[in-house]
Amino acid sequence: MLIIVLSITIAYLVIHFYKEMEIRHIAKQLDDWTLYVNTSNCGFCLKQIEFLKDNTSFVNIVHCDDNKNVRECSNLQSLPQWVRGNKKIPGARLSLVSLKELLDK
C-alpha cells in the first residue's frame, strides 16, 4: 500500500514539475506579446495571472486597473487581452495548449 501511495505522489510531483517547466518555456517565448489585465474586477484576468504564477516576469503585462495605464487600455474591447502588433486576441489562456497557440499566431 505504501508503495502505491509513494508511486502516485511521485507521479503527481513529476507531472506538476513538467507543467511548471513547460509554462516557463512558453512564457519566455511570449516576449513580443503584451497581456492587458484588470486584476481588481476581472476574474479571468486574475486567473490568467495565477496560471502564469512565477513566470509573469517573462511576459509584458499592463495592468489596466492602474491609473497610469488608462490611455493605453482605453481602446480595448475586453480583458484579458493578448496583443502583438495589430493582432488582438481576447480571453485568458488557462492551459498549456491555449498558451502555446499564441506562439503560432
Taking only the tens place, the pLDDT of each residue in 27-64 is 999 999 999 999 999 999 999 999 999 999 999 999 99
Q: What pLDDT is stored for residue 2 in this prediction?
A: 82
pTM of this structure: 0.85
Contacts 24+ apart (CB under 8 A), 4-9: none
Beta-bridge partners for 90? 81
- pLDDT interval class at 1 (50, 70, 90): confident
Q: Which domain holds residue 57?
A: 2-104
Q: What pLDDT is stored for residue 5 in this prediction?
A: 85
* DSSP result, 39-97: TTT-HHHHHHHHHHGGGGGGSEEEETTSGGGHHHHTT-SSSSEEEETTEEEES---SHH
Residue 6 is part of a domain; what is its CATH number? 3.40.30.10
Residue 21 pLDDT exceeds 90: yes
Q: How many domains does the chain have?
A: 1
Give 36's DSSP letter: E
